[in-house]
Structure 1
Amino acid sequence: MSCSPTVQHISDCFIKPLYDSEEAKKPVYLSSWDLAMLSVQYIQKGLLFTKPSSFQLDPLLQKLKESLSITLVHFYPLAGRFKTLKQDNPPLYTVFIDCVNSPGARFIHANLDLTVSDILSPKDVPLVVQSFFDHDRAINHDGHGLSLLTVQLTELIDGVFIGLSINHVLADGSSFWHFFNSFSEVFKANNGQKQSIPISKSPNFNHWFPEGHGPIINLPYTHHDQFISRHESPNLRERFFHFSAESLKKLKAKANQECQTSNISSLQALSAHMWRCITRVRKFPADHITSCRMAINNRARLEPPLPENYFGNCIQTVRGIASARKLLENSLGWAAWEMHEAVVNHKNKDIREWVEKLESGMIYQLGFFDPSSIMMGSSPRFDMYGNEFGLGKGVALRSGYAHKFDGKVSLYEGIEGDGSMDLEVCLLPHFMASLETDKEFMDSLSS
């Protein structure tokens, strides 16, 4: 039996900003939100395109590299590398970005002898998709030697995949898509001129620190072995499920009606629905405590708020908690209200208290994720399908190996827009098999 084709790297190079700004000559110091990400993995997301009839590879590669160089003028930290500054007296251990002593961001051209249909038609996401991204299994601390950003173009027989891998210490989901959108914007405006191109939303690199703190954060360590660990995902099944705008409206209406309110959002209703369905197929004992975590953007919740274009990490998770019995004996509306309350009660005071904990040198560890939980990550609000690169609209979004564990659900904008969503669901194989035969779940996809 022949092996399935693998991704072949044709070439790679490093891309520097078109020119160095004065800011890029200074060290970039990181907030406690950023440094907490040192032991987790890169953000890996990308778009699959079908080849247009006029497709020419070499001009596309050239224009992507030129446009990346121009975009990096605005996003200069992404072309840097981490440095650790240590000293004994007074004691200091801090990680920062050095934008001067770096070869730049990485650009990879790769090839795969498969079709778009080979990627999209199987029920489960094929494992080869993980090879559409650089930094496979890398953790963010590896950014001392590895690029903080890699753009990889993988040519298929009848398609192209453009995958970005960005160090999570530099960016959360909002910042990741801010860069992706700006890269696409520069590409569209680039007529071959080797000069700076303005972008509609300039990043703000003024990292936030509580009053009296920063810009240098002294971590309570003497060696990185004290705070980094490597997470290997278990054998998972990864599937995409599509929720139309209509099916989401029905979920939201049902949740609100059951609670006699109009305050529950589509996202809260959907999160509660996934929490209940996945908990049901896991068949926990009645008194087993479960939770649903949801990533939340803190920018507008701080007082005073941070700008929308704040570039860095500004996220936390909020959660609903319930025993398996309470969750499953109560209605969808009950669970959705738990999620609603978790979101509305997450305010400036809670954020600042969390940052105080991070200031003591807390570093997140992926391997500690609670197997009784589900985690709702990413956001359907990000502009994903607006990134085109002269190839027309993408036909699918996919992600890499990073941050996959049993119960991870990533939310993406549906391809038709209009409020639809695609859910990337990762579960242990026997749980996924049960979810696929769960009537309430399967009926909700087509309702």
Structure 2
Amino acid sequence: MKVKIESSKIVKPLYEDGEAPPARWVPLSVFDKVTYGEHVALIFAFRPPNPPNSEVELGLAKALAVYREWAGRIGDGPDGRRSVLLNDAGARFVEATVDAPMAVSLPSGPSPEVRRLHPRIDDGPVELVQVQLTRFSCGSLAVGFAGHHQIADGQATANFLAAWGLATRRLPLSPLPVCDRGTRFAPRDPPLVEYPHQEVEYRAPAPNKKCDVAVDEEEEEIGFGTAGHDKVKVHRMHLSKDFVARLKAQASSGLPPLRRSYTTFQSVVAHLWRAITAARGLGAGVTTKVRISVNGRTRMRPPVPRDYFGNVVLWAFPRSDAGDLVSRPVGHAAELVYRAVADVDDTYFRSFVDFAAEGEAEGLVPTADSEQAVLCPDLEVDAWLGINFHGLDFGGGGPFRVMPTYYPMEGSLFLVPSALGDGSMEAYVALFHNHLEEFKRICHKIT
């Protein structure tokens, strides 16, 4: 796929009255600072008809005026705290073309080529939002969106994308975002740290060590020196509606009569955790755990508004002996996932706020580390199942495909709902090449 960059510019907020508010610093919240300090890229594919780039650009400018943080810059504020400067410096807007139809150009599965559909994010761009519109000869449009994670979590990003679509269609932006990250999460007086947060959300800095990861520039795959583990590859696995239903039924079959069935998320994560563990060849005596994002909006008391713009995410860490995990039925793994996520409740979120806001994290670094290349024997799950990324609509309907960028971190797992809206989904699984072949052999077997 040959992508030709036609232009690259900065788009600044466009205010209805034409007058920009004064610049000001807004401190990042405790949840903003504990998450990944990097851009996260998504790809949206639209069939024609699509509006011209000028209308999409105008919509972006209007949306940035409402979601002003995206047009700012991250830095240390006057008080020394990590903050976002609301200075309307703008977002990056790239226009590109492909002289071929999307049907024959867009990779059918995870591929390094996908990275050509969004601006480069591995150099730490200063713009907190970077957008690339790639037009194909058939009239189809690929929108590559990269947003800095410390500004917004998945829910907040989806809200912004929906607003961008509304603005492009010249519709009112409603509901408006709740932008009070600097004051919302105040510690209690006196603070009450009830859970151990060091080595969970925060850890001591690791000593500097030389990274032994090599990158093959030709194939853009990550290489490792360990014999038998020479490549990490990403596999897209389709989970049909029928497969998900059978999986949920199998996972829930041993529950008592009055107990609710396991959710789609719990069942799918349990199944894939077991399959990946088996494919890796892990056995008794090895502990494996899963890092699962937990949205605190409905868990905190009082609840955080759904339209809050920022991060409200902590993590659950179900863990098990690998041999026990694989040898027992999928319902056992689903129960581990259920209990771990349930434990990240309002009490836990409040304990973390007190821990982080009272300086307990001083000198520590977040455990959310994007520079890890290999997670084995562990997993990290990014689930978009409850996030409406398909709500981005520029006027021709929602995207027919939504996917993460090519992200070959061994042990990473993305769960993406199908655009069909029928309960099916795609799982993007990154594993060592030799483990991936075994995973593909067993991943559709329900045990």
C-alpha distance in 1 between matches for 2:369 and 2:107 = 34
C-alpha distance in 1 between matches for 2:19 and 2:188 = 28
Match of residue 291 from structure 1: 289
Structure 2 residue ranges without an equivalent (≥5)? 190-205, 216-220, 223-230
Match of residue 439 from structure 2: 435
C-alpha distance in 1 between matches for 2:179 and 2:19 = 13
Match of residue 200 from structure 1: 174
Q: Which amino acid aligns with 1:7?
A: V
Aligned-pair identity (%): 23
| Cα gap change, 1:358 to 1:210, in 2 (>3 Å) | same
C-alpha distance in 1 between matches for 2:80 and 2:261 = 46
| 3-state SS of 1:109 partner | strand
C-alpha distance in 2 between matches for 1:385 and 1:77 = 23
Match of residue 161 from structure 2: 180
Instruction: Give the Å deviation of 1:297.
Output: 0.1
| 3-state SS of 2:371 partner | helix
Instruction: Give the Å deviation of 1:41.
Output: 2.2
| 3-state SS of 1:165 partner | strand
User: Is 1:153 aligned to 2:133, yes or no?
Assistant: yes
| Cα gap change, 1:120 to 1:112, in 2 (>3 Å) | closer
Instruction: Give the Å deviation of 1:356.
Output: 4.0
Structure 2 counterpart of 1:10, from 6, 10, 16:
6
Map 1:379-390 → 2, pairs under 5 A: 379-390=384-395
Structure 1 counterpart of 2:279, from 248, 273, 281:
281
| 3-state SS of 2:260 partner | coil
C-alpha distance in 1 between matches for 2:47 and 2:239 = 23
Match of residue 240 from structure 1: 236
Deviations 1:84-104 (A, max 9, x none): 247xxxxx632222222x531
Structure 1 counterpart of 2:422, from 392, 398, 418:
418
TM-score (norm 2): 0.82
Instruction: Give the Å deviation of 1:401.
Output: 4.6
| Cα gap change, 1:40 to 1:385, in 2 (>3 Å) | same
Q: Which amino acid aligns with 2:236?
A: F
Match of residue 193 from structure 1: none
Match of residue 97 from structure 2: 111
TM-score (norm 1): 0.82
Map 1:344-383 → 2, pairs under 5 A: 344-359=342-357, 360-361=361-362, 362-363=365-366, 364-368=368-372, 370-383=375-388
Map 1:81-160 → 2, pairs under 5 A: 81-85=73-77, 93-100=80-87, 102-119=88-105, 122=108, 124-139=109-124, 146-158=126-138, 159-160=140-141
C-alpha distance in 2 between matches for 1:289 and 1:212 = 36
Deviations 1:362-383 (A, max 9, x none): 3332235742111220321212
Q: Output the aligned Cα RMSD.
A: 2.9
Contact 2:74 2:82 in 1 (8 A): yes
Contact 2:248 2:261 in 1 (8 A): no
Q: Which amino acid aligns with 2:115?
A: Q
Between Structure 1 and Structure 2, the one with more helix by share is 1
Map 1:210-249 → 2, pairs under 5 A: 210-211=186-187, 234=222, 235-249=231-245
| Cα gap change, 1:380 to 1:114, in 2 (>3 Å) | farther
Match of residue 146 from structure 2: 165
Instruction: Give the Å deviation of 1:411.
Output: 1.5
Match of residue 257 from structure 1: 253
Structure 1 residue ranges without an equivalent (≥5)? 87-91, 191-196, 214-224
